[in-house]
Amino acid sequence: DVQMTQSPSYLAASPGESVSISCKASKSISNNLAWYQEKPGKANKLLIHSGSTLQSGTPSRFSGSGSGTDFTLTIRSLEFEDFAVYYCQQYNEYPLTFGSGTKLEIK
């Protein structure tokens, strides 16, 4: 199975700041990586796929980069609505696997 190591598990930042979240795969997954946002009371939201392609409706302050084993989600100029939990997920092979999540909180 492809293990997805996500870091940090917790991140505190202020609105207007920029943050980055790392996701490392235990073997190459090409660019078959997605990022999801989890917020209480809302359905999980697909933000980015193919490592760096923004899903329709994702604000441009979100960006993704990387390929192979190392990936990064960056959020520029944080807005209040961005404080949530973020997961990476590989879809290169079965079983599909997720990172352990990053909780982004307001400082």
- Closest separation between CB of residue 58 and other proteins, Å? 12
DSSP string, 17-79: --EEEEEEESS--TT-EEEEEE-TTS--EEEEETTTEEPTT--TTEEEEEETTEEEEEE-S--
Which of 28, 30, 44, 74 binds other proteins (CB under 8 A)? It is: 44
> Given the rule CB under 8 A, which of 18-26, 43-51, 65-73, 74-82 is the region that contacts other proteins?
43-51
Do the beta carbons of residue 102 and residue 38 sit within 8 Å?
no
Residue type, 53: T
> Given the rule CB under 8 A, which of 19-27, 59-67, 71-79, 90-98 is the region that contacts other proteins?
90-98
> Which residues are at the interface with other proteins (CB under 8 A)?
34, 36, 41-46, 49, 55, 87, 89, 91, 95-101
